[in-house]
Structure 1
């Protein structure tokens, strides 16, 4: 800003805000990598992999019919009381919830903002366990709150002293991105503790329908004016493009929030579609949602098993996404995410979550066919990265060997264990890979994702000093190219096999 540029008449702390990066990822990556949108698999968004209820005739829901019904009200202002929606949301939730406990919302973010606006003032302390959904912090910072971080694992035993100084605490259950779920008794104890210290507990149950609805805590809000629950319909029903959700609070608290929310925050389409979804027979235990939970469990178990590989440490999850520690992997989360996207598969880089750094990714649980594609793409990316690293290391080692000769043993090699005492590591990154010649000691092994891959684990030939000398006599003279590699194989390996 120059001296002549007038200042903006807004709160100063908002000048440093960045726009939300959520949403539109398929289109953005389609444009970036020139991949048709229809060919991109989005495993970064944690939506119900079972698909929408409109895909299953047994739900009795027809999207076209609902859209036509909603559009009939297009020329009217919505009824801001949202009586049918509240009735349906109360019925869907069960647990003794009544319509006067319900606050209609235009998706999670609007609900977070509403509660924050009604509760938080400038300088108020808001507690946020790490890592968790970033919108809690964003919406509270807009209002000038002071954010204090705590650890997720400290929640069950959080001290009264910490709660005493805080205006509100956000708890995502099951947590995003870790997938961990506090049970009902843990939530009850936390809610009671928060009430004693006059700290509002904002419990985000956006994924509870896809995890374990029996651990929901809606029946605990009445009589506790310091307890608020958020529900999102877009995750459970896989329709994030239609923004809809609702809050649950005691009748007194809910009335204040309902009066304060933006008028007409649900348009005619969202109101009509969401009311129909909430009225689905069986509610939270409808056949559609029970089938969804069964699919998620089976596919989550499959993905957990396949992701548990060298450098990947998946965290046990209760819901439709898996938080994976890749701190021991060769790439950081940003590079891995970018490389996956270039192949048309989107996963979540968790560096935007507090304290995750670049050591974690989140992978959505999808259908079996889609999960296989995720795993195949990971293998492809790892193979490509390994080839790039091998080629780079090979050229570096050849440059050193041109002046120094063989490099000798490298007992601290990060990539392969020592094969035998006195080995030479000039060609730890073998220019012949994959040679597919089992006479070398290499072999075909079963891949974790099915099929076979070539393994050099038991090949020690390129570590023999005499073999290295013969390879160097060709490669340092002619450079490393397809023809010279063939010649080096013939001279160094062919005569010894």
Structure 2
């Protein structure tokens, strides 16, 4: 799906004063990163490392795993498409609603795609599938799946592709990286663009057993991660403990924001992250999105194109409290606009 994602402000002529459609941290890139990249600018005169080897070593050291268990990628989307290619034609199940690229990548590679709803997936589930894509915390719902190890251990025939792109935005679960030492049927996708606010640089990585990484590395084209992205990743891991999100405060702001949105007449669903699903009771999400852009310069994520959701669903990310008030006030006028 080339279009239909969030953060599509570039498609509108109207200036966007608050973008609730993207689930990237609103606080901007880490302090000092811009200056660091400016100082590394001369490196763009040469080709980047073929496989981002120096960052690969740093990531492995951070997680106390072998470098052979890491593969640096041009964002999680490249990771998804690499996995779909590596396991071309397999029987694959996707836990929905979910990021559309799982399905798109798998269909491109002739997978036999099936779907299971999040609320129908249990620790005791026995899966008749070779791959399972699951995002934890989930996009777009912000739900978390807690009994993950039981599900993995109970389905040794299934390769679990676990997308942890939003793990930094929750206090309800911790990363599944420690499970890599016990299960070969686990592949973890991590993003560096969301929590560190660098989506334009495109940077992520895959963690897995070395036999899975070898398979993926053989399919990866050279230089897919640019020099500045590599340097950004190294800066982040050099300063990792200092760059953590104020997640507790962010989630408190989310709870207040969601409660105030409910008073405007929209339905808000529970979430364990800073973003959440909502549903309009007037019109549909596409109409609401257009109204907010044109009348208020605000952008939300029309979530109707997520498999399993309705045309009335939209996704909202929590921004700074003052910006959140923009949306609260704008939505209070939506009902009158529709009548």
What TM-score do the two structures reach when normalised by structure 1?
Answer: 0.65
Identify which of 301, 322, 325 aligns with 2:279. 325
Give the equivalent residue in structure 2 for 1:49.
26
Asked whether the equivalents of residues 6 and 300 of structure 2 are also in contact (C-alpha less than 8 Å), the reply is no
User: How do 1:215-234 residues align onto structure 2 when only pairs under 5 Å count?
Assistant: 215-234=174-193
Give the whole-Å Cα distance in 2 for the aligned partners of 1:129 and 1:102: 25
Residues 1:209 and 2:177 aligned together: no
Q: Secondary structure at the match of 1:246?
A: strand
Residue 221 of structure 1 deviates from its aligned partner by 1.6
Identify which of 23, 27, 41 aligns with 2:10. 27
Give the equivalent residue in structure 1 for 2:148.
187
Asked whether the equivalents of residues 7 and 19 of structure 2 are also in contact (C-alpha less than 8 Å), the reply is no
Asked whether the equivalents of residues 49 and 296 of structure 1 are also in contact (C-alpha less than 8 Å), the reply is no
User: How do 1:268-307 residues align onto structure 2 when only pairs under 5 Å count?
Assistant: 268-280=227-239, 283=240, 286-291=241-246, 293-307=247-261
Q: Deviations over 1:48-80 (max 9, x none)?
A: 1232212xxxxxx241332331x3222322222
Asked whether the equivalents of residues 107 and 246 of structure 1 are also in contact (C-alpha less than 8 Å), the reply is yes
Give the equivalent residue in structure 2 for 1:137.
103
Give the whole-Å Cα distance in 2 for the aligned partners of 1:201 and 1:88: 25
Structure number having the greater helix percentage: 1
User: How do 1:374-453 residues align onto structure 2 when only pairs under 5 Å count?
Assistant: 374-385=327-338, 389=339
220-229 or 362-371, which deviates more: 220-229
Q: Secondary structure at the match of 1:247?
A: strand
Query: Whose radius of gyration is greater, 1 or 2?
Result: 1
Residue 313 of structure 1 deviates from its aligned partner by 2.3
Bigger relative contact order, structure 1 or 2, given CA contacts below 8 A and separation 6+?
2
Give the equivalent residue in structure 2 for 1:424.
none
Give the equivalent residue in structure 2 for 1:155.
121
Give the whole-Å Cα distance in 1 for the aligned partners of 2:155 and 2:235: 35
Give the equivalent residue in structure 2 for 1:57.
none
Q: Given the superposition, is the C-alpha separation of residues 142 and 272 from structure 1 closer, same or farther in structure 2, using an over 3 Å criterion?
A: same
Asked whether the equivalents of residues 170 and 202 of structure 1 are also in contact (C-alpha less than 8 Å), the reply is yes
Give the whole-Å Cα distance in 2 for the aligned partners of 1:330 and 1:21: 22
Structure 2: any 5+ residue segments left out of the alignment? none
Give the whole-Å Cα distance in 2 for the aligned partners of 1:99 and 1:296: 33
Aligned length: 338
Residues 1:345 and 2:304 aligned together: no
Q: Secondary structure at the match of 2:140?
A: coil
Give the equivalent residue in structure 2 for 1:107.
75
Give the whole-Å Cα distance in 2 for the aligned partners of 1:67 and 1:83: 21
CA RMSD of the aligned region, Å?
2.0
Residues 1:120 and 2:88 aligned together: yes
Q: Deviations over 1:340-378 (max 9, x none)?
A: 121211111111101102131111111001101111111
Structure 1: any 5+ residue segments left out of the alignment? 1-17, 55-60, 390-497
Residues 1:335 and 2:294 aligned together: no
Give the equivalent residue in structure 2 for 1:408.
none
Residue 258 of structure 1 deviates from its aligned partner by 2.3
Residue 81 of structure 1 deviates from its aligned partner by 4.1
Q: Secondary structure at the match of 1:191?
A: helix
Asked whether the equivalents of residues 48 and 235 of structure 1 are also in contact (C-alpha less than 8 Å), the reply is yes
Q: Given the superposition, is the C-alpha separation of residues 179 and 62 from structure 1 closer, same or farther in structure 2, using an over 3 Å criterion?
A: closer
Give the equivalent residue in structure 2 for 1:448.
none
Give the whole-Å Cα distance in 2 for the aligned partners of 1:67 and 1:383: 49
User: How do 1:229-268 residues align onto structure 2 when only pairs under 5 Å count?
Assistant: 229-268=188-227
Q: Deviations over 1:221-247 (max 9, x none)?
A: 234222100000111111111100000
Give the equivalent residue in structure 2 for 1:441.
none
Give the equivalent residue in structure 1 for 2:37.
66
User: How do 1:457-472 residues align onto structure 2 when only pairs under 5 Å count?
Assistant: none
Give the whole-Å Cα distance in 1 for the aligned partners of 2:182 and 2:74: 26
